[in-house]
Structure formats: structure tokens, C-alpha cells
Amino acid sequence: MNTFVLQLDEKAVQDLIEKLSSYSIQNNNAHVRFAAKFQETTILIYTSGKAVFQGKNVSETAQRLGFQTEPTYQDEESSDNLSFIGSDEVGNGSYFGGLAVVASFVQPSDYLFLKELGVDDSKNLTDAKIRQIAPLLEAKIPHKALLLTPQKYNQVVGPNHRHNAVSVKVAMHNQAIFLLLQEGAAPDKIVIDAFTSPNNYQKYVKGELNRFTNPISLEEKAEGKYLAVAVSSIIARKLFLDNLATLSQEIGFNLPSGAGTQSDKIASQILRTYGEDGLRHTAKLHFKNTKKAYQLLK
């Protein structure tokens, strides 16, 4: 998705609103004066006079609307005065440990602090670095962090339960973002690191009670594009690591992250010591590792 930002005077704003009046759409952002969907481009006009074009072919769209200056495409977070809610999850690919989802609200005034701190996709940072900077992020950046422990996960995810592995993430992302918006966050854009298709997301989110009308964007590798998503990935990683450490202490085994052969071996030892209740407390039972762990007992 490309973004083009214009700063307009009042006359230009009025002219643009008039041209787009028949294409207007609803937008509940209190800072958005007017919103429209023109062909494949979403156009937001803010109370500050800023106009943001987002979508495909924004250059052609701007020219059709009378803006002759060729737009310059930018990293969206370096665009003028754009604020983001970014949401990411950690733990969905790990057999042991819970599922952590975090949504963070990052404003332009935060960018320098985050870049100086070395904020990046959590997969590019060591666990030691994550443990070092996550508390600083938690203290400064508005965020909502949700943890679904393995015990609770196994009560709601899997055969004959309410959720599958995708719908539970939809529910958690939706709730984390909803809570941030309820506390007054007013983002120019909401981005979720893509874990499913937009159509699939919309199918599942219809079943959630706490809905919001702000548009969302699901983008692959969003943690490398948006500081807000990177912040969420770091806080979520720390939350997941802390939960894994707590479970390890409770069960008396060093629980690995991931879902490889080491997880199978540890799972079989837990089965031998505690039975399936031990796995239900520490692991996501619907993973194939459970079956492999039982096979190792034979």
C-alpha cells in the first residue's frame, strides 16, 4: 500500500470535499474531517488540513483530483504527523507457552526515541535485548497486552471448542485494539501483522462483541515496516518469554520455544511424570507434538 500526504489550505480542502462528496465513507476518527473511497484509494482529510491518500495508484488518483505535483512515496512512519496502532502476536508457533498479543499506539513524537532505542522486529533481536528494552517501551508507549495461557488456550481452541488457531488470534487482536481505542487512542492507521487473509479476518471478527469501525490493514512483515508493530512484537515476545519461564519453574522442566523435536522429547517426559494434565497446563494440545510425545512413550 502506498501513501501520499498533502497539506491543504481551507479552499483546497473545500474543493476536494466537494469533488469527493458522492464517494464519502464513514470514519470515526475524531481527527478526520472527511473520508472517501475513490476507486482503489482511501482519502482522509484531517482537521489540520492534511490529506492522506492510501491504496493503489495514489499518484494517478491525486492527478485526477487536480493535484499536479508528482507524489513522493515514503516510509509511512516518516510521513508528516501520522500515528499508528500496530498489533502483533508471539507464541502461536510454539508448542509450549501461551499466546501473547499486543497492540501499541505510536505517535510521531515517539519515533526518535524508538529508533534510538534500537526498536526492530523482535525476531531480529536477542532475548537479552528484548528483556532490556521492553520495560522501557511498556513505560512510555500506550499499549494493551493480552496473554492466553496454555490452560485457557486449551479450553477455547481445538476440536469441539469455540475457536481454531486463526479465530482465536482474530479475537485477541480485535480486543487489544478495541481497548486502546476505548482509552482514547486516535490513530491515522491501524496495522496488524498479517496471519490470515483480510476476508478470513472479517469472517471471524463478526462474531466478536467488542467491535470498532476504524478500518484495519493486515500487512505481511509489518513489524519491519511500522515502528508501532515492532513495539508490539517486542512487548509480546517478553510476555511470552516470561510465561514460558514461569511454566518451566512450575513444571520442573526447561520448556523450549518452538515446535521441534526437542519439544516432543520434553512433552513425553512431562506425560510420563504428570500425565496429560501436565501438558494441558504447559502446551497447546492441538499441535502435532502431542501425538508425537505419546508415540515416544511406547
Please give the annotated binding residues for a divalent metal cation, written as ranges: 88-89, 193
Collapse the DSSP code of 203 into the 3-class scheme (helix H, G, I; strand E, B; otherwise coil) and give the result: helix
Collapse the DSSP code of 165 into the 3-class scheme (helix H, G, I; strand E, B; otherwise coil) and give the result: coil
Contact status, residue 175 vs residue 146, Cβ threshold 8 Å: yes
What is the distance between the alpha carbons of residues 265 and 251, in angstroms, rounded to a whole number? 15
Q: With CA atoms as reference, report the closest residue to 110 among 72, 147, 78.
A: 78
Neighbour-count burial for 228-257, b at 16+ CB within 10 Å, e otherwise: bbbbbbbbbbbbbbbbbeebbeebebebbb
What is the distance between the alpha carbons of residues 36 and 261, in angstroms, rounded to a whole number? 52
Rg (C-alpha) for the chain, rounded Å, is: 22
**Measuring CA to CA, how many Å separate 25 from each of 62, 214, 272, 286?**
18, 11, 59, 42
Neighbouring C-beta atoms of residue 290, cutoff 10 Å: 20
Annotated binding site: 88-89, 193
Contact status, residue 109 vs residue 153, Cβ threshold 8 Å: no
Collapse the DSSP code of 55 into the 3-class scheme (helix H, G, I; strand E, B; otherwise coil) and give the result: strand
Residues whose CB is less than 8 angstroms from the CB of residue 112 and which lie 6 or more positions away in sequence, other chains included? none
Say which DSSP state 142 is in: -
